[in-house]
């Protein structure tokens, strides 16, 4: 599998990673799926302390035992669960981040995290304090690099200007091109990589995603989504399905180092990984896809 450097870091990530959130809570099949991914050349595993109240990290931790040197572990922090309370609260404080990283390390059964990501963020956060926490964790050797997971251009801009982030995880697909206007050009200019999540738009752009398109996505109507699907179908080839075409679209932008589609079955996993071997999109095909959907969908999350 092709590997790309993640920003200015020494991390070389396979262009198809594995978004672990959709692995489920049954440990044995989830671990088997991760092992299959690693055997097929995937090396980027993306999880978060929030997923399944920490169980997802535990599953990843179990799966990487004996294979730690083959894996780039990415996890996230900032959503705090308070015992006895439903849901979680947002806490980007230095004290919480430095506490939470140790909990994640324990669940992941590892001495260090390759990429530690702030799981969100707002302009009201104590940003300097948050950055201090990540920088200190780097100095302590508990993390190698850090980034943020955000779709907010104003927040991303603050971290680009003030922090030594190497990556931004951003929702990006044919059906969500918001990042193309502001975020991707900025990150490309600054040498910061994008890890694209949701490249198949929650299954809307999958080959069997017509029923999901019927339910709508973001600000799109079902009718608009079916037009996008019809347009993508015209670009399907003998060795590139609709979902793989969508994945190749996200990978085509020079700012994108990797995509992290989720997978809950072996069939899905292998289909996603095969996108790495499918024919890249031509410039004409990329332009044709861009005619299908607008890039300026930012109405909130500024």
Residues marked as catalytic:
51
Q: How far is it, in rounded angstroms, from Cα 249 to Cα 8?
A: 23
Backbone angles phi, psi at 150, to 5 degrees: -155, 150
Read off the tokens for 58: 């535990």
**Cβ-Cβ contacts under 8 Å for 27 (sequence gap 6 or more):** 58, 59, 62
- The CA distances from residue 101 to 7, 112, 167, in Å, are 22, 9, 18
Residue 150 near residue 170 (C-beta atoms within 8 A): yes
Read off the tokens for 136: 């200190």
Backbone angles phi, psi at 262, to 5 degrees: -85, 165
What's the DSSP call for residue 117? E
| Count of beta carbons in the 10 Å neighbourhood of residue 295 | 14
Q: How far is it, in rounded angstroms, from Cα 125 to Cα 295?
A: 28
Maximum C-alpha span of the chain: 55
Backbone angles phi, psi at 237, to 5 degrees: -120, 180
**Cβ-Cβ contacts under 8 Å for 153 (sequence gap 6 or more):** 182, 183, 298, 302
């Amino acid at each position: 599998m092709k590997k790309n450097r993640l920003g200015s870091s020494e991390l070389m990530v396979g262009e198809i990673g594995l978004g672990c959130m959709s692995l489920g809570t049954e440990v044995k099949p989830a671990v088997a799926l991760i092992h299959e991914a690693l055997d097929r050349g995937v090396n980027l595993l993306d999880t978060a302390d929030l997923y399944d109240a920490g169980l997802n990290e535990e599953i990843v931790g179990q799966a990487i035992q004996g294979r730690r040197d083959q894996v780039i572990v990415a996890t996230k922090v900032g959503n705090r669960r308070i015992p006895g309370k439903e849901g979680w609260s947002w806490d980007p404080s230095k004290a919480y981040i430095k506490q939470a990283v140790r909990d994640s390390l324990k669940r992941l059964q590892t001495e260090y995290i390759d990429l530690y990501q702030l799981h969100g963020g707002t302009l009201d956060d104590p940003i300097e304090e948050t950055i201090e926490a990540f920088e200190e964790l780097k100095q302590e050797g508990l993390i190698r690099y850090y980034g943020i997971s955000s779709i907010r251009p104003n927040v991303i801009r603050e971290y680009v200007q003030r922090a030594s982030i190497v990556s931004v995880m951003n929702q990006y697909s044919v059906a969500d091109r918001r990042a193309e206007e502001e975020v991707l050009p900025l990150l490309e200019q600054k040498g910061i990589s994008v890890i694209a999540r949701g490249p198949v738009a929650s299954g809307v752009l999958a080959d069997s995603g017509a029923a999901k398109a019927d339910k709508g996505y973001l600000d799109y109507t079902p009718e608009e989504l079916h037009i996008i699907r019809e347009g993508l179908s015209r670009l399907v080839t003998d060795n590139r399905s609709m979902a793989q075409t969508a994945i190749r679209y996200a990978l085509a932008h020079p700012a994108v180092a990797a995509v992290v589609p989720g997978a809950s079955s072996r069939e899905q996993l292998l289909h996603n990984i095969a996108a790495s071997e499918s024919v890249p999109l031509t410039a004409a095909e990329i332009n044709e896809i861009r005619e299908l959907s607008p890039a300026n969908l930012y109405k909130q999350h500024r």
